[in-house]
Every structure is written in structure tokens, then in C-alpha cells.
Amino acid sequence: MTLIPAAPVEAVETVGRFAKDSRGFGTKAVQAGAPHDPVTGAVIEPITLSTTFAQTSVGYPVGLYEYTRSSNPNRDNFEHALAALENARYALAFSSGLAATSVVLQALAAGGHLISVSDLYGGTHRYFTKVAKTHGITASFTTALAKDLRGMLEERKDTKLVWIETPGNPTLGLVDIRAVADVAHEFGVLLLVDNTFLSPYAQNPLEHGADIVLHSVTKYINGHSDVLMGALAFNSAELNDKLSYLQNAIGCVPSPFDCWLAHRGLKTLHLRARQASENALAIATALEASPNVVAVNYPGLDSHPHRAIAVKQHRKGLGGGMVSFRIRGGQAAALKFCEATRIFTLAESLGGVESLCEVPASMTHAGIPREDRERSGVFDDLIRLSVGIEETEDLVEDVLGALQRAADAVGLKPAAEKVEGSGSVTPDSGVEV
């Protein structure tokens, strides 16, 4: 568990906020949780693989550690760094994003109800609908959370948690975090924001009223597609007691090596996230102008229906590195596109330095019933791009070339009109309360 020492800084509005590290993001990314080795002077921390630590007498360990499931130097340093980047007092690392999800639900929602956006990761939806019920948890979903939340909370008095992904996965609709937090807190309900799609660089949900931030560290934070890991960040000491207890008691912790790798990746997050956003905006702009595209979802575009939320909520209004779009020619064209790219790799996951493409309806979201998927805008012709940090011009050329090859493969005739706007984002998902 990580506790950032208090320092005299200006007050922050968010309820429960503690003092934060006031240095710039890049400085915190490189410096936070990175002490020099007191014995050797090593600038980069060693990997502490030992599972157990010596004691001078019973109950008196030589240092801070007794058993690596309970705590480990590499995990502590990573947690400290992540807390700094999320402007949080505490952070906890887990063996995966779904492990973090499991701990949150067992600790905070057992025997109760949760309300969630419908546009979310397929694995989270599966956990809510198939696994959470073993802990007496029921879930309801909405495509317009900010608009529907008050009525849903009035109807379900047993609600213990509100869960949002913003941007949504995969249609990239945005939710006004502050508006949702205000309503949830009025009913005494906690708000969790899955910040995986943007990373701490582009968005800090705690600053907008969220109680807990969740990450699949596997994605942008690690950034190199070689670590499976999750994390939570928050400000409440009470939450820390509950969540850290289960982190240890259940044992769903990452290895020291994974923590070391993720901490190394985190140090370049600001550089990677900026480049990915720049590349994604160029690709989204090109897609929006293509006659082979039905609709583009990217919150960095002025045409995005929730662009105002992005400007208010994201660092410098960045759209992030994720883009989704509906291709002319239906599912057949979507599948052909993903087979026709030469730089983008057809694969699940996201947030790495390399560019990936997938068809959510057939891959990451295949387990969600078609009716539910399509209600959230996840149609068979939707393609999701995780835009990496390769050269912008090469990526744009690859996408446009694959579009044309897909059109040729399914026998499409040239379209008469170009796409206008980002038409497949779920209506009203970010409307303010």
C-alpha cells in the first residue's frame, strides 16, 4: 500500500482529497517511487524476488517486509508512483484489472446493487453479469448514465456503487464525471471510474469527484504489451483499510518483476500518451473524410457529440489513443480491413507502443448479447483501433490503404458522400445532469 506524505499545497475541491505532489506530470512519472539504493547507490531499483524476509527475532523483521504477498519493495514503489500520477493518497496493485474489479466488488458492493454504463469492457460486463452474483451483487446498465442515474438510484435503494468507463469501450462516448459524482454522493453511493482508456496522463478522475480510479495497468501505464496487471487509486483511508486487506487476504497481487516492468513503463507514459493522441487525431480526421467509413468515434474531433466534456475533463482536451469507426460493407468489410493492414496488428488489448486493430463484436465484446451490444453502438461493422507511437504518416497511410483493400474485397462501389460527424456514439451518454 502507498501513502504519499502530506505537503503544504493549495486546497483541492474534491471531497476527501489529501495533499498531492505538485510537480509536473513528467517529473512525477520519472521520480516518484524511485529512491536510490541506500547501499549501492543504484539509480534504478533492483528486482526483489525474495518471497520472504529475515527477522531478527519473532515479529521483528530486519526491514519493512515480512512476506511478499503482503508487501514487496517493487510493488510499493510502483504503487507510490501511480498514486502520484493520479493525484491520489493511496494506490494498490493487483495481478490484473479484473482482479482489481473483483476486490472492489467484494469489499464494497457485496449483497447490493451496482449501476454501470453499458459501453464497457466485455470482461467487466461478464464479471458483473456472470460472476458478481456469487457475492449477492446485481447490476443494471444504461446507455445514458448521467441522464438516468437519479431515477435509477431512487428505484434501487440498495445501490452501493456506480461504475463508469469514460471514454466508453469501444464507442468512446464520454461521461461527465463531476455530474455523476454529485448525484451518486447525494445518495451516499461511491463512484468508480475505469481510467484505462485515457491513462493518468490524459485524465485524473479523482479531481472530478470520483472515489476510486481503476486501471488495467497492462494497457497504457505499462505500455509495452508484456505485463498483466491492474491497479486502484483513491484518497480514503477507510477504503484503503478495506481494499488492502482483501489485496493481501485474497492474494491477487502482481509479481515483483511485473511491478518493476510496469514502473519502468510508467516513466515514459507522458511521452507515449501524447504521441498516441497525436497519431489518433490524424487517423480519426482521415477516417472522417473517407467515403468508405460510415461514422467515426473519437473525442478529440470537434464533431464528437461529447467534445465539450473532453475539453473540460481531459488534459489539454486530448482525445487519447483509441479510435473506433463503422466501415462501409458491414462485418465482411470489417474483417477484411483487419486482415489488410500492414502496420496495425490484428489483436486484442490496447495501449501498447504498437498499433492494434480488432472487431469488438467478434472479439473483445463477443460475449455480450447482440441486442445489448447494438444498444450501446457495438455493431458488427465497428472496428476499434489502438493507435501506437509509430510515425503518423505511416499509420494514416496504412489505415486508408486497408480501407480501400477491404472495399475492393467486398465489391463496394465508390460512395457518393463522405461521412459527417461521429454518428455511432451512444446518444446522451455524457449529457450533464
At residue 242, what is the residue type? K
What is the per-residue DSSP string for 183-223? HHHHTT-EEEEE-TTTHHHH--GGGGT-SEEEEETTTTTT-
Number of other CB atoms surrounding residue 38 within 10 Å: 7
| Alpha-helix runs per DSSP H in 86-198 | 97-108, 122-126, 145-155, 177-186
> What is the separation of C-alpha 273 from the centre of its chain, rounded to a whole number of angstroms?
13
Cα(364)–Cα(357) distance, rounded to whole angstroms? Answer: 11
Please answer whether residues 162 and 190 qualify as being in contact, where contact means their C-beta atoms are separated by less than 8 angstroms: yes
CA 355/CA 332 separation, integer angstroms: 22
Q: How many CB atoms lie within 10 A of CB 179?
A: 20
Neighbours of 428 (CB within 10 A): 16
Which residue type is seen at 354? E
- CA dihedral of residues 394, 342, 365, 202 (deg, nearest 10): -20
Q: Would you name the residues annotated as active-site residues?
A: 69, 121, 194, 219
CB 74 within 8 A of CB 98: no
Dump the DSSP string for 239-291. HHHHHHHHHHHH-----HHHHHHHHHHHTTHHHHHHHHHHHHHHHHHHHHT-T
